């Protein structure tokens, strides 16, 4: 009796609401301890308190297929079949995220295609983190918008096969559902308008700089004469004087240039002549030094020969006294 659906419950998808969960998983839920102790004789009011105590989202886990408390409360909601207003309040609850997740999954199982898009799509703006239990018993972190996207797009969630719903574009073509307005559209429009304003400001600044550059680049305009033909004689005299002074300055420049060229040539000729004279003086000095060396050598030879003659003469005198033959001169 405790596992039967209430008498006044409506059939969903043409069958018993509890049959939306597979028989094997449903049997495991009936046998688990959480179902027997915490889900017994729950009403819609007490179910809210139990949902507020949830700590994570999950289906079944472990080798012997143990159901999570989240899945047990979902089966209890299918069994007692609370009113639609209560489910909508579950979905709109912003204080308890797991209550919102439970109501979203129940709406996805029992609601029509229009109700699923109408009540679940606004939850794309909820970015809170959810803890979800995997099949091996470990936990992972997901966000609420990811969980809602899984409910609307995937075929299975929390180990439950989700009923098929119509595509959104089909409902829009049949005028059963308004086109979805993304929350990013306003931000994108604001960004586009701000970008356009920035571009216009940059363009205006560039135009100002260009105009200023053009004004600086223009040469100063000299005042043009009033009439070219009827110029005054005083003006013609001034132009002639200017042309004469210009010719004189050109002649002076040419003469200065010639004088500078002659001076350079004279200096170069003088420097070359000085170098030649210096080379000649060096050669003369070398010849004089050579002649002095020769004279000094001849004097030394003469001096040595005179010394030898005196020594021979003294020796001959001594030998004559002794009655010996003289040496060769």
For residue range 14-29, what is the model confidence (pLDDT) as tens digits? 888 899 999 999 999 9
Does any domain span residue 162?
yes
Residue 326 maps to a domain: yes
pLDDT at 138: 93
Give the sign of the dihedral formed by CA 298, CA 299, CA 301, CA 302. positive
Q: Is the pLDDT of residue 69 over 90?
A: yes
The mean-pLDDT minimum among 72-81, 213-222, 252-261 falls in 213-222
- Averaged pLDDT for residues 97-125: 93
Region 55-60 average pLDDT: 93
Domain housing 88: 17-185
Both 298 and 169 in a single domain? no
Q: How far apart are CA 64 and CA 308, in angstroms?
A: 144
Domain boundary among 166, 185, 204: 185
Q: Give the pLDDT band (50/70/90) at residue 178.
A: confident
When pLDDT is cut at 50, 70 and 90, the band that residue 239 belongs to is low
Question: Do 162 and 294 share a domain, yes or no?
Answer: no
pLDDT given at position 15: 84
Backbone φ, ψ for residue 61 (5° rounding) = -150, 165
Where is the domain boundary, 135, 168, 185? 185
In a domain, 198, yes or no: no
Is the same domain home to 274 and 181? no
The verdict on 170 and 49 lying in the same domain is yes
Mean pLDDT value across residues 123-136: 92
Q: Could you tell me the end-to-end alpha-carbon distance of the chain, in angstroms, rounded to an integer?
A: 174
Higher pLDDT, 223 or 203: 203
Residue 273, in any domain of the structure: yes
For the chain, what is the domain count?
Answer: 2
Same-domain check for residues 29 and 137:
yes
Same domain flag for 50 and 153: yes
**What pLDDT does residue 323 have?**
72
Residue-level pLDDT at 238: 63
State mean pLDDT over 141-167.
92
Report if residue 311 sits inside a domain.
yes
Structure tokens given for 217: 């680049």
> Domain check: are 171 and 260 in the same one?
no
| pLDDT mean over 96-122 | 93
**What's the confidence (pLDDT) of residue 265?**
61
- From the list 94, 49, 84, 89, the residue with the least C-alpha distance to 69 is 49
Over residues 218-225, the mean pLDDT reads 50
Asked whether residue 44 falls in the same domain as residue 179, the answer is yes
Alpha helices in the chain (DSSP H): 23-31, 33-38, 44-52, 69-80, 84-92, 97-110, 113-120, 144-153, 168-173, 184-217, 233-321
- In terms of domains, do 64 and 145 share one? yes
Share of the chain above pLDDT 90, in %: 35
Whether 157 and 31 share a structural domain: yes
Domain boundary among 185, 207, 235: 185
**Is the pLDDT confidence value at 205 over 50?**
yes
Q: What is the mean pLDDT of the chain?
A: 78
Q: What is the pLDDT of residue 225?
A: 47
Summarize pLDDT for 267-322 with one digit per residue, the tens: 655 555 555 656 566 666 666 666 665 655 555 556 566 777 777 777 777 777 77
Confidence of residue 326 (pLDDT cuts 50, 70, 90): confident
Q: Are residues 27 and 130 in the same domain?
A: yes
For the residues 94-121, what does the mean pLDDT come to? 93
DSSP string of 244-260, one letter each residue = HHHHHHHHHHHHHHHHH
The pLDDT, as a whole number, for residue 1 is 47
- Higher-pLDDT residue of 50, 10: 50
pLDDT score of 231 more than 80: no
Is residue 78 domain-resident?
yes
Between these two residues, 304 and 59, which has the higher pLDDT value? 59
Q: How confident is the model at residue 5 (pLDDT cuts 50, 70, 90)?
A: confident
Mean pLDDT of 219-246: 54
Is pLDDT at 230 greater than 50 in this prediction? no
pTM above 0.75, yes or no: no
User: Is residue 225, in this structure, part of any structural domain at all?
Assistant: no
Q: Are 176 and 265 in a shared domain?
A: no
Residue 160 near residue 20 (C-beta atoms within 8 A): yes
Please give the average per-residue pLDDT across 106-127, as a whole number: 92
Is the four-CA dihedral 25, 31, 32, 38 of positive or negative sign? positive
On whether residue 55 sits in a domain, the answer given is yes
């Amino acid at each position: 009796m405790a596992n039967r659906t209430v008498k006044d419950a409506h059939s969903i998808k043409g069958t018993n609401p509890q049959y939306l969960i597979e028989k094997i998983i449903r049997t495991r839920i009936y046998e688990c301890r959480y179902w027997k102790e915490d889900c017994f004789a729950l009403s819609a009011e007490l179910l809210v308190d139990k949902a507020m105590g949830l700590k994570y989202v999950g289906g079944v886990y472990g080798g012997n297929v143990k159901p999570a408390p989240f899945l047990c409360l979902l089966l209890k909601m299918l069994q007692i079949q609370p009113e639609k207003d209560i489910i909508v309040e579950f979905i709109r609850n912003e204080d308890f995220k797991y209550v919102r997740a439970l109501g979203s999954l129940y709406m996805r199982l029992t609601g029509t295609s229009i109700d699923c898009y109408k009540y679940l799509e606004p939850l794309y703006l909820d970015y809170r983190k959810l803890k979800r239990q995997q099949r091996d018993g470990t936990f992972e972190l997901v966000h609420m918008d990811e969980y809602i996207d899984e409910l609307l797009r995937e075929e299975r969630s929390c180990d439950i096969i989700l009923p098929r719903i119509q595509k959104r574009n089909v409902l829009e073509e049949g005028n059963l559902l308004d086109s979805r307005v993304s929350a990013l559209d306003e931000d994108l429009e604001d960004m586009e308008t701000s970008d356009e304003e920035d571009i216009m400001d940059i363009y205006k600044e560039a135009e100002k700089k260009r105009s200023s550059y053009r004004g600086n680049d223009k040469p100063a305009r000299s005042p043009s004469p009033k009439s070219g033909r009827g110029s005054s004689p005083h003006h013609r005299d001034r132009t002639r004087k200017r042309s004469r002074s210009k010719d004189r300055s050109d002649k002076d420049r040419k003469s200065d240039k010639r004088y500078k060229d002659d001076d350079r040539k004279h200096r170069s000729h003088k420097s070359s002549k000085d170098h030649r004279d210096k080379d000649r003086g060096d050669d003369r000095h070398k010849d004089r030094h050579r002649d002095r060396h020769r004279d000094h050598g001849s004097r030394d030879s003469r001096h040595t020969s005179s010394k030898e003659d005196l020594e021979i003469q003294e020796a001959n005198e001594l030998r004559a006294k002794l009655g010996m033959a003289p040496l060769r001169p």
